[in-house]
Structure 1
């Protein structure tokens, strides 16, 4: 049992101790951003890899969490007045929707509860009608597109196309300070570690085995007396909560939230990242998000005109040579090493 947790412990030590010491503040901020995406990927790995629910709209839940945190930060900086973008848009009075978000506890709670509630409502309506497979994927993708349209059309309420930016302070700490960004990185890395261990424990529990059974034979599970709709709804809500929490952490780390970050394309990129890492292994989903995030940055820096082609080539290469992703390759190599050692 101890040996199984050694790789995780080693990675955790490197992430928490070595990265802040070895990386300059800008690169450390990029790594924190990748880890925010990794939290979303962990939820996708749970819903898709273990539950068979291909969700193409995680950007919606990510955006709900991000906008909840952004609203709190904007109200803190306004000090009782109106946020800057509302002034530019001609808004004269703070909208009633914004008022509760001046409370940090409410804002952070809604960053998680908002996505969870939406996922429970959507899951209850969809899974009770036995919608699954490609139909469920298309439905979540349409939800992401509708969310973008809604946000863009509410200029005075959400900042429209530009979204919200210019965040300067979080709980009295200057977000421009290197020490603050280093602290945010440690928080993000710690949250990811806790969520990974919790999700892994969930997958290895009786509920996790039931979830896999629903994925592989939903009708058989129903005949055994279980409610597959309830099982899938709980998992879908858990993945949505992770995405919302990731969005709330993303805002102070990166300093912006906009519709461009939560539409159809970003949601698809996260699914691609999970596929590259290995959707059937939770660690693979996390690794895929970090690898694809780093590849996107590296390719865009070196090949400004053609980095999208290189990113697509990376996805095709991994899927062609290793259909189970990077984690699948690692499992194969580890299995062969164990066989050779036994021989």
Structure 2
């Protein structure tokens, strides 16, 4: 029980924050919103997976990735491929030239299912692919970069370029990927119609529960020795390396973990919204994910969820009211947060919540949850002269 309380919930403050968030997304929002708006919130929560991945990678690891849309898209496309194959059975596609293949393949004069689509006829394989394919792709990128000590702005630019390349590849290979339109007309999941109202409610709650699970996974990682080393690498990478640790392996590992979390969000997006397109893979969505993390607080796993909800709610409102200005308004919001609230919404919470009487007990000095208290001084210590001898 102590393991759950300390490692998965993060002590008193962590349990309080997770409890408030759980009540909000599992009780208040479903009761207060109609199905259309609740489905929008569900879509926003899928973006929060990518924001959580950036807390681990950028906030604690100090590795800014401008390509998290890559992994979000890989997870989304993997799920979309399975759903599209299920919707393309011979009976449903009998009017096509070649029944039994997705419609966009028939339009592009393909006469059989491509070999890499065939395994996605299995739901089990699809679930494994959602986790494994992004992890392998992240491992290849991370190994190539971190083993050569490529980091900082160079790594951010490289991930951005990879996002552009992947988008161009998806758009250009229309017969295999659906092109600019993406993979659409997704109907059932193992025979279960995902377009019904009841299905949308169930998918929303599944999405919310998985999101809470991702938060607890992040807390487990950050409260472990690996999390302490991650924070130490961010502040004093050379000192950690001189202490005998292979920094590149830690970076590769956290990059792969963040990729898997983002991919789960992409898979849930496909189920929640009913399609997947290259517009969720490229530079713009990747930068938006960074904005979500910055607004919520890049050092807070829970803060970024609120940041994601706030930014996307504002985006929806601005785009409905001022369709030509919403990009400028969102950019202004990001600049304002960086200038006046560098720690995001989480920083505001940490500053003012202790002043609320019934919350004061959760902000005692005995709680070891503050960022500055998690830095492992022993691990990052410099090697002594005696040790060298």
TM > 0.5 between the two? yes
Counterpart Cα distance in 2 of 1:316 and 1:55: 19
The residue that corresponds to 1:57 in the other structure is 67
Is the 1:62–1:262 Cα contact (8 Å) retained in structure 2? Answer: yes
The residue that corresponds to 1:226 in the other structure is 245
- The structure richer in helix per residue is 1
Counterpart Cα distance in 1 of 2:249 and 2:336: 37
1:336 CA drift (Å): 5.5
Counterpart Cα distance in 2 of 1:168 and 1:188: 18
CA RMSD of aligned residues (A): 1.6
Pair 1:335–1:13, CA change in 2 (3 A): closer
1:335 CA drift (Å): 4.8
3-state SS of the aligned residue for 1:257? coil
Counterpart Cα distance in 2 of 1:218 and 1:328: 25
Give the alignment partner of residue 17 of structure 1, picking from 27, 34, 49. 27
Counterpart Cα distance in 2 of 1:3 and 1:43: 21
Matches for 1:27-66 after TM superposition, within 5 Å: 27-66=37-76
Is the 1:61–1:241 Cα contact (8 Å) retained in structure 2? Answer: yes
1:41 CA drift (Å): 0.5
Say yes or no: does 1:200 pair with 2:219: yes
The residue that corresponds to 1:68 in the other structure is 78
Q: How many residues align?
A: 341
TM-score, normalised via structure 1 length: 0.96
Larger gyration radius, structure 1 or structure 2: 2
Give the alignment partner of residue 331 of structure 2, picking from 312, 322, 340. 312
Matches for 1:141-220 after TM superposition, within 5 Å: 141-220=160-239
1:19 CA drift (Å): 2.2
Counterpart Cα distance in 1 of 2:336 and 2:154: 28
Structure 1 stretch 330-339 or stretch 164-173: which is displaced more? 330-339
Structure 1 stretch 115-124 or stretch 15-24: which is displaced more? 15-24
1:4 CA drift (Å): 4.0
The residue that corresponds to 1:297 in the other structure is 316
Deviations 1:63-95 (A, max 9, x none): 111111111001101125011111111111111
3-state SS of the aligned residue for 1:164? coil
Is the 1:108–1:248 Cα contact (8 Å) retained in structure 2? Answer: no
Counterpart Cα distance in 2 of 1:271 and 1:153: 27
Counterpart Cα distance in 2 of 1:11 and 1:258: 30
Q: Can you give the 5+ residue segments of structure 2 that lack an aligned partner in the other structure?
A: 1-10, 91-99, 365-389
Deviations 1:275-319 (A, max 9, x none): 111111222222211211111111111212211122122212222
